[in-house]
Structure 1
Amino acid sequence: MLYAQTPAAEKRRLLRERLAAGELLRFPGAFNPLSARLIEQKGFEGVYISGAVLSADLGLPDIGLTTLTEVAGRGQQIARMTELPAIIDADTGFGEPMNVARTIQTLEDAGIAGTHIEDQVNPKRCGHLDGKQVVAENTALKRIRAAVDARRDPNFLIMARTDIRAVEGLGAAIDRAKALVDAGADAIFPEAMRDLAEFEAVAKAVDVPILANMTEFGKSELFAVDALRDAGVQIVIWPVSLLRMAMGAAGRALDTLNDEGHLTGRLGEMQHRADLYDLIDYEAYNHFDQSVFNFQITKE
């Protein structure tokens, strides 16, 4: 009832333990707290909170318009509703190295298990769009060092995302990944890899887990989990998939309302009321109410 029972520190410890064991962990993107509960119910290992989704949820493009307060607030709402670890997108860290440091501590306080800081020029662009720019290596390393120095829980996962592949090629991406690990990154997020061989090359070049971003309509082919595991990937995210599915279904429902004036023919596509009540644990709230407010009002 209410929020998750597993403390944030324990979620982080367990995440680190599973990564150290060499497991591949699946992190579908939650677009709200309820979808995070559904991800957990369906047996996944973690929840991803996408910056693109948070921007879209506000009706904004993913170009660095969201603030730390908005991101951390939404991240807390999502993370506290699931027993799973949540990894959140922190873009470029919301400013200079000192801002990055504050970002890390704010996300720790929000109950997040880990985050990634990227090396794009601020304001950033969606990782699968053309025209991206990346900062000089020294600036990228300062961001990661600031993040590592700022964290208070050593199990809080600090990932370094690099977008340099699309700008300078795979060799530059591997060189930067190595430098980011040397700066203290716990994992590497190589954005917009072209094929499995590129993922494998990055995985072989560093001694930390790497993350694969399986976002639709982007630069990377949508590889299956088993193929990514074979390429050395340990974390897979599908950042916007559930939002895309939900918005696609919502658009079709609105079209049906316009065409037919009712949704009777689409009832089978909807989450049933009983399933919703099960997902939010309605019965536990009902039991709690009865155990606390068990008096009766009688008339004299």
Structure 2
Amino acid sequence: MLYSTVTPAEKRRLFRERLASGELLRFPGAFNPLSARLIEEKGFDGVYISGAVLAADLGLPDIGLTTLTEVAGRAKQIARMTDLPAIVDADTGFGEPMNVARTIQELEDAGLAGTHIEDQINPKRCGHLDGKSVVDEDTAIKRIRAAADARRDENFLIMARTDIRAIEGLDAAIDRAKALVDAGADAVFPEAMRTLDEFEAMATALDVPILANMTEFGKSELFSVEQLRGAGVNMVIWPVSLLRIAMGAAGRALDTLNDEGHLTSKLGEMQHRADLYDLIDYESYNHFDSGVFNFTLTKE
């Protein structure tokens, strides 16, 4: 009932234990709190909260228009709805190194298990679009160092994302990743890798976990979990997939309303009311209400 009974600190501790085991952890992207609960129900390892999804939810493009307040607030709503660890996209950290430090503490307070900070210039662009630019290595290092120094829970995961592969190539990406690990990053998110060999080269070069971004319509081929595991990847995200599927279904439903005037033909595609009630644990609320309001008066 209500929110997760697992504390954020415990979620972080358990997450770091599993990450240290070397197994590959699967993090589908939640587009709202209810979808986070569905991800947990289906047996996944964690929840990813995409900056692109948070921006799209506001009707905005993924070009750095969202604020720390918006991201932390929505991420908190999503993270508290599940027992799973949740990782959120913090873009470039919302400013200079001091802003990055504040970002980390706000996200800790919001109950997140970790975040990633990228090395694009601010404002950023979607990682799979052309025309990106990255900051110099010194600036990128200062962001990660500020993030690592600011955290209060040692289990809060500081992940460094680098977008330099699409600009300067794989060798530059490996060199940048090594520098960011030296600056304090616990894991690396190499964006827009093109082949399994590139993922394997990154994993071989680093002694920290790496994350693969399996976003549709991007620069990377959509590799399977087994393929990524074989390449040494430790985490995989599908950041926008559920939103894309949900919006595609919503568009088709609206077309059906226009064409047929009702949604009878779509009933088989809908989540049933009973399934929704199970997912939100409706019965627990009924039980709570009964315990509070069902009482008898006694005469003294």
Q: Tell me how far 1:296 sits from its aligned partner.
A: 7.0
Tell me the alpha carbon deviations over residues 104-157 of structure 1, each in whole angstroms, 9 at most, x when there is no partner: 000000000000000000000000000000000000000000000000000000
CA distance in structure 1 between the partners assigned to 2:167 and 2:200 by the alignment: 19
In structure 1, the partner of 2:289 is 289
CA distance in structure 2 between the partners assigned to 1:254 and 1:160 by the alignment: 40
5 Å-filtered alignment, 1:20-35, equals 20-35=20-35
Flag structure 2 segments of 5+ consecutive residues without an equivalent. Answer: none
In structure 1, the partner of 2:19 is 19
Is 1:257 matched up with 2:247? no
In structure 1, the partner of 2:214 is 214
| Code of the aligned partner of 1:104 | I
CA distance in structure 1 between the partners assigned to 2:129 and 2:253 by the alignment: 30
| Code of the aligned partner of 1:123 | P
5 Å-filtered alignment, 1:1-300, equals 1-295=1-295
CA distance in structure 1 between the partners assigned to 2:285 and 2:226 by the alignment: 40
1:88 partner SS? strand
CA RMSD of aligned residues (A): 0.8
Normalised to the residue count of structure 2, the TM-score between the two structures is 0.98
Tell me the alpha carbon deviations over residues 190-219 of structure 1, each in whole angstroms, 9 at most, x when there is no partner: 000000000000000000000000000000
Tell me the alpha carbon deviations over residues 148-190 of structure 1, each in whole angstroms, 9 at most, x when there is no partner: 0000000000000000000100000000000000001000000
| Code of the aligned partner of 2:9 | A
Normalised to the residue count of structure 1, the TM-score between the two structures is 0.98
2:159 partner SS? strand
| Code of the aligned partner of 2:236 | V
Tell me the alpha carbon deviations over residues 237-276 of structure 1, each in whole angstroms, 9 at most, x when there is no partner: 0000000000000000000000000000110000000000
Q: Tell me how far 1:23 sits from its aligned partner.
A: 1.0
CA distance in structure 2 between the partners assigned to 1:222 and 1:289 by the alignment: 47
CA distance in structure 2 between the partners assigned to 1:214 and 1:105 by the alignment: 28
| Code of the aligned partner of 2:120 | Q
> How many residues are treated as equivalent by the alignment?
297
| Code of the aligned partner of 1:270 | M
2:219 partner SS? coil
- Dislocated runs of 4+, deviation >3 Å: none
2:83 partner SS? coil
CA distance in structure 2 between the partners assigned to 1:4 and 1:35 by the alignment: 14
| Code of the aligned partner of 1:210 | I
CA distance in structure 2 between the partners assigned to 1:158 and 1:130 by the alignment: 26
CA distance in structure 1 between the partners assigned to 2:189 and 2:260 by the alignment: 46
Flag structure 1 segments of 5+ consecutive residues without an equivalent. Answer: none
CA distance in structure 2 between the partners assigned to 1:196 and 1:162 by the alignment: 17
Q: Tell me how far 1:295 sits from its aligned partner.
A: 3.5
